[in-house]
A and B are shown apart, each in its own frame.
Chain A
Amino acid sequence: DTAVSQTPKYLVTQMGNDKSIKCEQNLGHDTMYWYKQDSKKFLKIMFSYNNKELIINETVPNRFSPKSPDKAHLNLHINSLELGDSAVYFCASSQEGVAGVHTDTQYFGPGTRLTVL
């Protein structure tokens, strides 16, 4: 009954490889996010999708490509991995509230620790 799940939990790979991380939420939320948390624990948004539409695309190398097949899933594909991509990647989801009601709390998945060698 996990609310936001990610796979894999750990990912160790060589520089130059291509890898994907998957995220699923069963909360019925309409917005999903990818965050990167670096070694200094700084959590920074990368992408956000609302009802399968990309709405936030921060300054992220175009080697990173999100894909949302439906509003319950948001996957992250990374091409040509670099050493600096090593981090923990968190998926999150939230539900936009009705007018005047704030329900924009974001719920985070368990994270995927990516190590690029």
Chain B
Amino acid sequence: QKEVEQNSGPLSVPEGAIASLNCTYSDRGSQSFFWYRQYSGKSPELIMFIYSNGDKEDGRFTAQLNKASQYVSLLIRDSQPSDSATYLCAVNLSGSGGSNYKLTFGKGTLLTVNP
């Protein structure tokens, strides 16, 4: 069973702090990694994707990927109350055919940013 693990939280940080969200995955052949944000009662929306080892920055968000450790993280700098949401890590497995199209999601980490 290929799995994606996240700390369910809740993770609580003060406004302006750095929020660090972590995700590990079991399939060493995984190719694509995604972070989605889901507000309560809404659908998941893509924040970032990363394919290569290292860091990828987009505004206040930085995704970090370490394939050797099977670890992907999301850092949110200068956290705002509007960042309060559930963050879902998703992994697209390697392989051909149907597996190429399958995202496996973690259970999500609830982030609360306190004013």
> How many residue-residue contacts, CB under 8 A, span A and B?
57
Among candidates B44, B102, B108, residue contacting A48 with C-beta atoms closer than 8 Å: B102
Q: Which of A11-19, A38-46, A64-72, A74-82 contacts B (4 or more CB under 8 A)?
A: A38-46
Instruction: Please judge, given known A-B contacts A31-B101, A45-B102, A56-B102, whether A105 and B49 are in contact too, CB under 8 Å.
Output: yes
Among candidates B34, B101, B105, residue contacting A55 with C-beta atoms closer than 8 Å: B101
Contact B101 A56 (CB under 8 A): yes
A binding-site residues for B, Cβ under 8 Å: 31, 33, 40-45, 48, 50, 55-56, 90, 94, 96, 102, 104-111
Interface contacts beyond A56-B98, A108-B43: sample of 6 additional A-B pairs, CB < 8 Å, sorted by A: A33-B101, A41-B108, A55-B97, A94-B101, A102-B32, A105-B49
Among candidates B31, B32, B43, B46, residue contacting A111 with C-beta atoms closer than 8 Å: B43
Interface of A is mostly: strand
Q: Mark B44-75, 1 if CB is under 8 A from A, else 0.
A: 11100101000000000000000000000000
Among A33, A105, A109, find the residue whose CB has the most chain B CB atoms closer than 10 A.
Answer: A105
Chain A CB within 8 A of B88 CB = yes
Q: Determine the chain A residues whose CB is within 8 A of the CB of B51 once the complex forms.
A: 102
Minimal beta-carbon separation of A86 from chain B (angstroms)? 15
Which 5 pairs from chain A and chain B are nearest by CB?
A108-B43, A55-B98, A43-B105, A56-B98, A108-B44
Q: Mark B71-113, 1 if CB is under 8 A from A, else 0.
A: 0000000000000001010101000011011111101100000
Contact B43 A104 (CB under 8 A): no
Q: Determine the chain A residues whose CB is within 8 A of the CB of B101 once the complex forms.
A: 31, 33, 48, 50, 55-56, 94, 96, 104
Number of residues of chain B lying within 8 A (CB) of chain A: 25
Contact B43 A90 (CB under 8 A): yes
Interface CB pairs A-B, < 8 A, 28: A33-B101, A40-B107, A41-B38, A42-B105, A43-B44, A43-B88, A44-B105, A48-B98, A48-B101, A48-B102, A56-B98, A56-B101, A56-B102, A90-B43, A96-B100, A96-B101, A102-B32, A104-B92, A104-B100, A105-B46, A105-B49, A106-B46, A107-B46, A108-B43, A108-B44, A110-B42, A110-B43, A111-B42
